[in-house]
Amino acid sequence: MESTIRESYDIVIGLEVHVQLKTNSKIFSGDTASYGSPANANTSVVTLAHPGTLPLLNKDVVSMGLKMALACHGQISSRQRFDRKNYFYPDLPKGYQITQDRDPMCRGGYLIVQTRNQLHRIALEKIHMEEDAGKSIHHEDGKGTSVDFNRAGTPLLEIVTKPVIRSAEEAAAFLMEIRKVVRYLAISDANMEEGSLRCDANVSIKPRGTAELGKKVEIKNLNSIRNLSHAIEWEVDRQIELTEAGHPILSETRTFDTALGKTFAMRTKEELNDYRYFPEPDLSPVIISDVWIEEVRQAMPSLPHDVFEKFVREYMLTTADALTLSETRETAGYFEQLCTLTPRFKAAANWMIGPVKSYLNDRGEDMDQFPISPDRLGALVDLVEQGQVSFSMAAQRIFPVMLLAPARQPKEIARELNLLQDNDNRSLERTVDEVIKEFPLKVEAYKNGKTGIVSMFMGEIMKRTQGRVDPKAASKMIEQKLSEK
């Protein structure tokens, strides 16, 4: 599509995000809420909604909901209720879902979200608690459908944004921020593949700069961040093409086919159920005291965006470095500890983003599995910064030994491997660095194959040190430094 046509429209997106909470038991019964059990293993009579059974609210769900509400700056309802949302589906044992319709966990609030070069404040409509439904498994041979009720009654938080998101990129950034926040709060695994983080996207377009919102289309069950952005991009194009051709947009629910990369109509809004919401008579209202809110607030960790800002402000990191290091609570915590041990924040950040991160990536491990303590890594950072060993020796020779023997002191390893530079060596290194920095064009020429240029660098170093260096050591160091460039 021509970009001028695209630019004559505004894109409007509202997201409905479902987060599965990491509680031990389900929201209204003692059944285990964990993922991956054999089908129908976690299904007592309460989950199966046998007559005469009653729901009993799991307090942990409310505490987790309060954490999220506080993290999103929402106005917490002091008296919350549950409602029944009635519809029929084979994986819904009760024939209704218990959810919060009128008095949800909180209303309003926002999350700060970062795209490539901008901060966005995404306003929220509300956050509410509800139970999940079971799972229908449609057999591929067409021979029927099986139902697994393990998921029925597991606790969810639904986070609903206002229609304020302006692009697929911003929508993806919002979902990533939700994932980050709930993981920081340790209230969900937020794993899209396992379905503990799910997202519906409401998408509409309108002529650029006009106020009235267009008819929205809801795209259901987007199960990856990539699919979320692809579905939005495709849907926006579809809506613009229809509008340009003079056709109306129907309010409908669509599904995204990942293989074809297109959205398809599932049902129009007119066919939708009337859910006949009414208050759940088997549960009393939930009273949220200020004391409870305070208790939850006290137990909250710092949030990713605050950590990010702190890293930029206090440790003078670049935006990109601060984002990388605040990605998980474990990484951020490790880095902060490192910064209490060494004043060389930038060097510490480089070690984390360089050798540490590639080690973890190679092994598919997380920060909490990293064997070296901040204390030992800090000592290694300092060793390099004081010029006692070169960075490349530290990263290539000492770091691997530390990974296998995390209790050992880096300096001792350096001594054993004969990597400690004496004073002469250090001042030689400084001179080499100086010369390399002053002659960027010569460095460029070297990289393009003019290896003879080493002798020019040698001459320069001899001049500056009045010949007081070992020429062999000097030329070796020049070649090493140049090849690292």
Q: Please return the burial class of 386, using the count of CB atoms within 10 Å of its CB with bins 0-12, 13-18 and 19+.
A: exposed
Applying CB under 6 A, among 6, 8, 10, 16 the residue interacting with ligand ADP is 16
Three-state secondary-structure class, residue 2: coil
Q: Tell me the closest approach of the beta carbon of residue 304 to ligand ADP, in angstroms.
A: 22
> Taking CB under 6 A as the rule, does residue 202 contact ligand ADP?
yes
> Taking CB under 6 A as the rule, does residue 23 contact ligand ADP?
no
- Residue span binding ligand ADP (CB under 6 A) among the ranges 73-81, 211-219, 252-260, 282-290: 211-219
- Residue span binding ligand ADP (CB under 6 A) among the ranges 199-207, 219-227, 352-360, 444-452: 199-207
Encoding tokens for residue 183? Answer: 């993981």
> Taking CB under 6 A as the rule, does residue 5 contact ligand ADP?
no
Q: What is the DSSP string of 400-436?
A: HHHHH-TTS-HHHHHHHTT----HHHHHHHHHHHHHH
Three-state secondary-structure class, residue 459: helix
Query: Please, which residue, 184 or 234, has the CB nearer to ligand ADP?
Result: 234
> Taking CB under 6 A as the rule, does residue 204 contact ligand ADP?
yes
Q: Tell me the closest approach of the beta carbon of residue 112 to ligand ADP, in angstroms.
A: 18
Number of helices (H) and strands (E) in the chain: give both, helices first.
18, 17
88 Cβ neighbours under 8 A, 6+ residues apart = 95
Q: Tell me the closest approach of the beta carbon of residue 180 to ligand ADP, in angstroms.
A: 20
Query: Please, which residue, 216 or 344, has the CB nearer to ligand ADP?
Result: 216
Q: What is the DSSP string of 99-161?
A: E-SSS-SEE--EEEEEETTEEEEEEEEEEEEEEPP-EEEE-TTSS-EEEE-TTTT-EEEEEEE
Applying CB under 6 A, among 160, 225, 242, 347 the residue interacting with ligand ADP is 160
- Residue span binding ligand ADP (CB under 6 A) among the ranges 53-61, 140-148, 208-216, 289-297: 208-216
* 271: enclosing H helix or E strand: none
> Taking CB under 6 A as the rule, does residue 10 contact ligand ADP?
no
> Taking CB under 6 A as the rule, does residue 198 contact ligand ADP?
no
Residues 98-127 that bind ligand ADP (CB under 6 A): 125
Query: Which residues on neighbouring strands pair with residue 268, listed in sequence order?
Result: 252
> Taking CB under 6 A as the rule, does residue 43 contact ligand ADP?
no
> Taking CB under 6 A as the rule, does residue 25 contact ligand ADP?
no
Torsion-angle region of 471 (φ positive above 0: left; ψ -120 to 50: alpha; else: beta): alpha
Q: Tell me the closest approach of the beta carbon of residue 162 to ligand ADP, in angstroms.
A: 5
Residues at the contact surface with ligand ADP, assessed by CB under 6 A: 12-16, 125, 160-163, 202-204, 213-214, 216
